[in-house]
Structures are given as C-alpha cells and as structure tokens.
Structure 1
Amino acid sequence: MTVLAELLRAVDAGEVRELVKGGIGTPLARTLGERLGTAPEVVPDRLTLLRRTGLASLDHGTWTVTGVGDAWLLAPWAERWTSLTDAWRDTLDPAVREVLDLAGADWHDLVATGRWAYPAGARWLDAELLTVAGTGSALGLVVDGTLTTTGAALLAGAPDAADRATADLPDTVPGVYLQHDLTVIAPGPLAPVDDAELRAVATLEAPGLAARYRVSEESLARAFRSGLDRDAVLGRFERLSVSGVPQPLAYLVDQVAERDGSIVVDLGPGGVGSVVRGTADQLDLIGVDAELRQVSWDRPDLTTLTTRYPAQVVHTALRDARYPAVLTAAAQATVEAAPPVRRAAGRDPQQAAHALVERLRLTTERAEGEPEQEWLGRQIDLAVRGRTPIRLTVRMPDGSERPFSIVPTSVAAGRVRGKDTAVDVERTLPLSLVVAVESDA
C-alpha cells in the first residue's frame, strides 16, 4: 500500500505522463521505481491498479487523482486496505471469482486451476489470472502463493475484515523526531493524516515504514504559499514532534516566514473585498507603490490594509509586484478572474479627510518610538564592531524586564545575535523588545 500511496502522490503532483502511443516511458518508470523502492517494470501494473480501483483516472493521456483517491490517501491504514481490496474485488470477472473460490487458499498455480475449471477458456483468462496473482501479492493478501486468513476475510468482505486488518498492521507511531540538521525521522508508520500534514511542510527523502523527511527553505516556502502562516507551521511541528522543536528549525521558520509568508491576504468582512496584514514597514511600501495604486487601499491601522477587490486578485497583484504575499486557506477557496483595471469610485470628501487625518495620526504615533530604537540599534552596532560585551534589558511577554549579558555578533532583520557570557550559549533577541543597552566591559 505504501508503493500505491506514493505512486498516487506522484500522479497528484503531475509527475506521471502518458506517451502518445500509450503507457509510460521507460525512463519515467525507472525514476518512479527508484523513488518507490520497486522494480521499474512493476510501475505500469500499479498504475493500472490505481485506475482499476478508481483511485486515479486517465483522460486523453493525462493522469489525475480522483476524489476517491484523495479520500483514500487520508484514510487510516486499515480502512485503506479494506477499501482497496473491496474496490479491486468488485472489478474481477465472474469467471475469475469462480476460479479463486475453487483455488481456496492455494494461489500457487491459478492458471492451472482456471484451465481445469474452463477447459475451453480463452487466453484472456490465463493472463487475467496471472495479473490477479501478482495483484494479490501486492495487496498483501497472498504470501508465498498462499492466501492468508486476513486476505481471505478481506477478499470475501467478511464482517470482521476490518478488525483482522487492524490486528495485522503495525501500530502507528505517536510522533516524529525533529533533528538539528533539519531532518525528520518517523520511527514507524505515521497515521496518514499526520503524514499528509508533515508532507505539507517537509519533503520526503526516504519512504518506508520508518521514513525520513527533510525541512528546507523550499518546503517551508511551499507551505506558506499554500496558506499556512508561521504560527500554523510551528504549531504543526510542535504537535507532531515527540522531541520538541530544535532552535535551528524554529529560526529557519522565522527566516522564511519573513520572506515568503509575512504578508497575508484574507477575505474581507462577510467575504467581501480583501484584508492584507503585514508589518508596518511592508504596508508602507505597498501603500505608496505606484504599480498598486489602482487597488485603492484603506488603512484602518498600521498592520492592516483593506480594499474592495477580491482576495485572489489582490494576491496576484502583490505577487506580480514581488511582495511575499500568501493567501489564507479561506481565501484560496474563492477564485476571481479579472484583475483591477480602474480606480475605485471616489469617496465622499469628508470621509477622505477623516481617513487622511487617521493615517497622519498613526504615522505620528509610530514615529515617536523610532528615535529611541535607532539609538539602541546604533549602540549595538558599535558593540558588534568592537566586540564589546554589553548588557541588554529585554521586555518579556509577561511585561517583566530581564537583563542579558552578551557579546553581540550581528544585528539583522530586526534581531540581535550574540553569545551569552553567563551561560555560554548563542542567543537571538528581537530588537523591538530591547529597552536598554549598557556597557558590560
């Protein structure tokens, strides 16, 4: 089932292409075989099985995953096994079923049994029985030519088939191990839902019962562009991990989130229009960008822009202007066609005046705190150049203030990094939370 699931995901990713003359090419079969850990000549048969059971479809040379296939990928392992066997059994010819009933548990030579049952049978029956024998082994119903008791129950659709399947399958593991080198180790089979969630933020490197995944900038960027935000990604890692989230991984998530997921486009109130959220600096640039002036932004607060245009249109306009915008999951469900081509209708002069005054007020409030932050940043820069130990007073989330004695090494992206002289570890502190800088020499 693991091979079938991985092959179905390859179909979903658009990696399976049919030749004009039919079938898949040998290079593609070899590539898929290496990825799936199976022989290349087996891949076409497995594709046929996916199509036969309704998990995938082939239309005009294009392979696609069906709705049944999407649901099957998220179903528990036992349900996968039973539903797949049921779907395969329903496609068998009545003559084949009769031969299987006659063979019982002995599947060593189904062709001989078929010829005994149908002496005048055509060649198609021999070929079909050979295919059935191979498929039975691939589905785990047959071992060394013998139909297992669980396989017999599944093939017969017995009431206790699901319970037997659950008993025969290995237990799923409760979580994964997140490594400092950004690899993710699953010590056993994951529940399909957990596996799907992990694949959304990491790339599978080594499939199998004990799989290995890797988190990279590309995988995180893909997750952010699919609608996940920083908190959702970190929350997913925290839920799936049994060893906590290592600092290098958390730092990478923050770094990629600032670049690829820091501007979020969501639906407006009641599903009308759009709401864009980001940092004040980012929205300052967007608000004055000449390429986006036709969007006619309103700015209710420093970190929010609103417009009457649909979320899909706003997202496309921002991406075209090279802003790291992502759509929320709710906004992705709405697809709007035309981009904005005209300015919004003029507003009432009194409303425009009030909006202007509000923007000026917000800008003034923001500017009041900037000189102090600039002075603190300049002091830290001097300490970095001179490798001078300093003491930073940082405001904690609970409102308290805590001192840190560090030797700063860099100031970038709104953070100061340095070596904590008290505990001999490297720290990364948000510059916005630093309230005081003192020399610690």
Structure 2
Amino acid sequence: MQRALDGLDAYTLQVLAAVMHGDAGPDGHDPAFGDALADLRALALVWDDGARPRTVPGVEDLLRARPPAPAAATRPPLASSARPPAELDRAGGTGVLEALRLVAALATSWTARPPAQLRSGGVGVRDLHRTARELAVPEPTVALLAETAYAAGLLNATHEYEPAYLPTPEYDEWLERPPAVRWGVLAHAWLTMTRHPAAVGRRGDRDRVVAMLGPDAERGTLPALRRRVLAVLAELAPGACPDGPEQVLAELAWRAPRRAALDGPPAAAILAEADLLGITAGGGLTGYTRTLLDGSRAVAEQVLADALPAPVSEFVVQPDLTLVVPGPPTAALAGDLALIADLESSGGASVYRISAATVRRALDAGHTAADVHALLTQGSRTPIPQALQYLIDDAARRHGTLRAGSAGAYLRSDDVALLARVTADRQVAALGLRLLAPTVAVSPAPAARVLEVLRAAGFAPAAEGPAGDVVAIAVQPPRAPSRPAPRTSRSRGAAPDGSELAALVRRIRAGDQISAPAGRFDLPAPIPGVTSATIMGRLRDAIRTEQLVMLGCAEVDGTVSRHTLLPISMGGGYVRGHAPGTERLLSFPLHRLTAVAVLDGPEDR
C-alpha cells in the first residue's frame, strides 16, 4: 500500500483526498476524475459501498503520517528548447570520448599507485584527493568514474593481506574495443548499478563520511529512479533539451509528490552524472541513449559509432612544443602520446605538450631517442621543430649517466690481478661475478654463498661489514621442525579404602533408584500434579538430618533429569537447596519430582 501511494501523481492524490473526506472531488463529471478513480480502484486503495467510494482501511493513516509535498493542481509544462538531433548526438559523442579517456586515465593512475582498501571497505579520502589532482577533475567526477568502472567489472580489490584496488583483466579487453562498445559497457553498468556516487564524501546514515566504493554508498532504489528520470527526458521530442534540471525535478515532483522530498537530491545528481557520461548532452536525451533505453544495446552502440568522429592517427607539431590531434586519437596513438607528452586540453581536438620531463618518462619506459624521433616523424603532418629535436637529444644524453641495480653481494680486493683471476675462474662461474671496477665485482648470490664457493675453489676470502672491518658470518646448521610434546601417562593411585568404596556404591545405587523408582521405592500409582507421601517424607528427613539427595525431575519435554542437592527448606510447592561444592541456591517444583534417593548421611561426612 505504501508503494502504491508513493507512485500516485498529484492529481490522483487530490482525488484520493477528496474520496477520503467524502467530497465529490475536483469535478465529479471530469473524465480525468473518473480515470483517476478507476486507477485507485485497480490499486485496491478505494472501494465502493453502494452509495459512494471509500478508502480502504490504512490509507488515511499512511497519508497523514507522510503527507505529500505541495504540488500544482494541473501538470506543469516542461519548458525546453529544440536542437537538431544530429547536433545533440555529436555533442553527446564529445562527452562519451571524454568519459572514456577519464576512465582510462583513472585506471592508469591506480595501476601506478593502487589505492589501499579501508578496513570498512572503499577508498580513503587521501587517495580520492590524489586521484582528482592527477586527473584534474573534481572529486565527485572521480567518484562517478570509479563507481561506474567498478560496477562494470573494470576495477576490483586484490585478495591480499593488504588489499588495494587495481584494474581487472576485463579492463584490458575493454580497452581494445571500439569507443562505442566501451561506452555501452559503462552506460549499462551505470543504469543498473545500485551505487550512489553523489553520496561520496558526505555524512551517511551512521554519521560517518561515505567512502568511495564503500558499503555506505549502496542505494537499492537508484536503478528505478534513473529510469524514471530518463523517462521524463524520453517523453520530449528528439533533440529537445529542458531549460534546466529544475524543470525535470518539477515534473518528477508532480508525478510522485510523496517521493519528491526523498528523490529530489538523487535525481539532480543523476542528471549531472548522465551529462558527464555522455548519456545526455546539454540536459537532452541523445538518440543513441533513446535506443539503449528501448532495450537494443547493439543498435545503440551502432548509432553512437555513426555519430562519433573517425579516429585519427596523425597530429600537428607546433613550434611551442605542443601537439594538436584534430579528432579522437586511435588507441595506439593515445598510448604513445600519453607516454611522451602531457594532455593540456581535450574536446573536438586534443592538445598535448612535450617537455623534458615527458621525454625522460619515455626514456624510463625503455624507449630510445631514436624511437621518440621516429614516433614524431611518422605521426606528424608538419616538420619537427629544431628546438624539439634538441630537447629530445639533450634529455637522452643526460639519461642513464647514473645507474641503479640490485646485487646479492660484492667482492673487492686491492689486488687487481687476483680479482681478475677469480672472475675468470670456471669453478666460481655459478656466482655470476661481474666487474664494476678493476677492484670491485658483484654477484647476485648472497654473501654466505659467495664465501662458500670461493673457499671451495681454494681462495681465502673474508666477510666484510658496513664499516670495512672483518666479520664472521655464521652459517646456521640445518634443523628439522620441532616434534609435538608426547602424551604423558599418569600412574593410578592407591586403591580406595572401604569408606570410599561404600560411598561410591551408594551413589551407583541411587542412580538405579532414579532409573527405576517404582521398583526401588514401592511407589503408588502416580497422580498427575500430586507428589507422593514417600517423596515428601524423604525430603523432610533429608532437610532435618542435612543429607545429600539425588532428585529425579520431570522436564517439559517428557524426559527425567537428575540433580544432586543438599536441601535446606521446603514450602510454597518448591524444595530449595544448594548444589554440592557451590553456594548457588537451586529450587525444584514438588509436583515434578519423580523420585528422591539419599546419597549419604551425617556419619559419612
């Protein structure tokens, strides 16, 4: 019933209020009034008693508990401006290419520096700030890109002791697909995901900041709300764009006034997200998105592919060391340019800038100066400026003057001939010794292994500490793992005396009496709810003589339980006493006792 009321528009709610108050309604002869009343009957919110329509029980309470937001009596017009549909698709294509570029940039950034996963799940605020700074976009945009890519399976957390977020193998496959297909994956994930990117960075229900990719950003109602928001845009003519998001929000508030207060902020965020992902352009629904909403994803991707400009594999090198790509670059060209230049602006044409730092980045990746020259010469429509050539050659000349590497141990000697003979000796070839200088050699093997092999070959090396002094490297002898402690056997003590045996026999016989009370105590036929005189007499004697007894008590499931008790009182239908060895007071109802056996007497204690 609550769900049905939330789905009513403003006019139908007015009709329902009129029925609830017994009025004739806005206009009893209005056809719209009859249609609204028929809808209410179909939803089982209104019934007819023969005289007039009435609301079903519970409707009035729900309406008073959460009254709808004020709405106009008639449907407000949705102001919009018309644009050619082809122009709207081209504008949307620009947003699509930018969204794809940002997702790839996000994956590249997280590949270089994976953000750690918080203990509660999600990405921390510092990593969010860093990613936004590297991508040069606001933090809400980073949250949208990460949540959408995560929903599409392009990102995931690693299963390690300290998990972090990285691109998945599906991302590598996604990167090789055409742009329209890549957008189709993101758009489908955004439409169906239950994540709320706009909530990232705000205080959640538990008064803590909602983390990106964290559990607090989950909202199960968002897929349906996205469909309702886009349905408002789909009712406009192709190419029509609302004059502002408030027009769409007003339409949503009129369609469902009871949900207006809750759905308003998320709906505004959905409109902004749709523009960032290229689902809409200028607030209007693009042609390929209309096709996607109709259920044909393959056709929508084909419509988008026709609207996107053809990828280019050439660029123009300008004298100010910038590269201008007149269109969307191919995947190969985009990868090369991201390595040798920094993106300064994007859109219909992209501008990249080459600097000494970007050239060093390409050299660090394994390219040579000749490779960079060849890339620019083959892809440029214009000659390469001389200043750019000098920049590349100068960076390559200084690159690699310092070398860094890893080694397990070093070997040094002031005797150059001795060190040369050691490195040329076949008996120590397994060490992989390599001369760095006439008096210094390195090996990938650890120092202990180097000493062992050299001594076996007949040399007399010594271990050296960080300060150059001779130290002893102790070789740990091999050892097997420790065995578990063996079980210890305890010898039996001395045989019990006669009094202990007698007490043990009495306890065993008491158990037999509990098992067969009728044969041992010669009890009369039991009467339900009545305790026998024998049981009552034995309990009084045990209380008077302070004897330990064993009780048989009938449980609610029909079984008989046994309890050892030192009784101290009997009254009010209960026998009370202490458990042996404890001061805990126990009580048992008399009508449930089936037998009482005396375990010992005062003479035994």
TM superposition score normalised by structure 2: 0.38
SS at match of 1:159: helix
Would you say the 8 A contact 1:183–1:213 is kept in 2?
Answer: yes
Would you say the 8 A contact 1:82–1:165 is kept in 2?
Answer: no
1:148 aligns with one of 253, 276, 286: 286
1:137 aligns with one of 260, 275, 290: 275
SS at match of 2:366: coil
Q: What residue is the counterpart of 1:65 in the other structure?
A: 167
**Computing the radius of gyration over CA atoms, which structure comes out larger, 1 or 2?**
2
Change (3 A) 1:13 1:196: same
Aligned Cα root-mean-square deviation (Å): 5.0
Query: 1:29-49 deviations in whole A, cap 9, x for unaligned?
Result: 4x7556656444433233222
Give the counterpart letter for 1:195 in structure 2: A
Give the counterpart letter for 2:274 in structure 1: G
Change (3 A) 1:201 1:242: same
Q: What residue is the counterpart of 2:188 in the other structure?
A: 86
- CA distance in structure 2 between the partners assigned to 1:71 and 1:82 by the alignment: 14
- CA distance in structure 2 between the partners assigned to 1:232 and 1:263 by the alignment: 21
Would you say the 8 A contact 1:17–1:63 is kept in 2?
Answer: yes
Q: What residue is the counterpart of 1:187 in the other structure?
A: 326
Q: What residue is the counterpart of 1:401 in the other structure?
A: none
CA displacement at 1:150 relative to structure 2: 0.8
Give the counterpart letter for 2:325 in structure 1: A
* 1:105 equivalent in alignment to 2:234: yes
- CA distance in structure 2 between the partners assigned to 1:10 and 1:196 by the alignment: 14
* 1:202 equivalent in alignment to 2:341: yes
Give me the identity figure in percent: 26
CA displacement at 1:138 relative to structure 2: 2.2
- CA distance in structure 2 between the partners assigned to 1:109 and 1:242 by the alignment: 47
CA displacement at 1:6 relative to structure 2: 3.3
Would you say the 8 A contact 1:185–1:212 is kept in 2?
Answer: yes
Q: What residue is the counterpart of 2:307 in the other structure?
A: 168
Change (3 A) 1:240 1:137: same
Query: 1:356-396 deviations in whole A, cap 9, x for unaligned?
Result: xxxxxxxxxxxxxxxxxxxxxxxxxxxxxxxxxxxxxxxxx
Would you say the 8 A contact 1:204–1:212 is kept in 2?
Answer: yes
* 1:242 equivalent in alignment to 2:342: no
Would you say the 8 A contact 2:193–2:223 is kept in 1?
Answer: no
* 1:226 equivalent in alignment to 2:404: no
CA displacement at 1:4 relative to structure 2: 3.4
- CA distance in structure 2 between the partners assigned to 1:51 and 1:213 by the alignment: 29
Q: What residue is the counterpart of 1:255 in the other structure?
A: 394
Give the counterpart letter for 1:105 in structure 2: A
Structure with bigger RCO (C-alpha 8 Å, 6+ apart): 2
Q: What residue is the counterpart of 1:25 in the other structure?
A: 125
Q: What residue is the counterpart of 2:142 in the other structure?
A: 43
CA displacement at 1:250 relative to structure 2: 2.5
Query: 1:393-434 deviations in whole A, cap 9, x for unaligned?
Result: xxxxxxxxxxxxxxxxxxxxxxxxxxxxxxxxxxxxxxxxxx
Give the counterpart letter for 1:43 in structure 2: V
SS at match of 2:375: helix
Would you say the 8 A contact 2:229–2:248 is kept in 1?
Answer: no
- CA distance in structure 1 between the partners assigned to 2:301 and 2:335 by the alignment: 23
CA displacement at 1:165 relative to structure 2: 0.7
Would you say the 8 A contact 1:188–1:211 is kept in 2?
Answer: yes
TM superposition score normalised by structure 1: 0.50
CA displacement at 1:176 relative to structure 2: 1.5
More deviation in 166-175 or 12-21? 12-21
Matched ranges for 1:214-363 at <5 A: 214-260=353-399, 339-340=444-445
Give the counterpart letter for 1:147 in structure 2: L
Give the counterpart letter for 1:138 in structure 2: L
- CA distance in structure 2 between the partners assigned to 1:104 and 1:206 by the alignment: 30
Structure 1 unaligned residues grouped into runs of 5+: 265-287, 298-306, 319-337, 347-441
- CA distance in structure 2 between the partners assigned to 1:296 and 1:127 by the alignment: 76
Give the counterpart letter for 2:280 in structure 1: V
**Count of residue correspondences:** 291
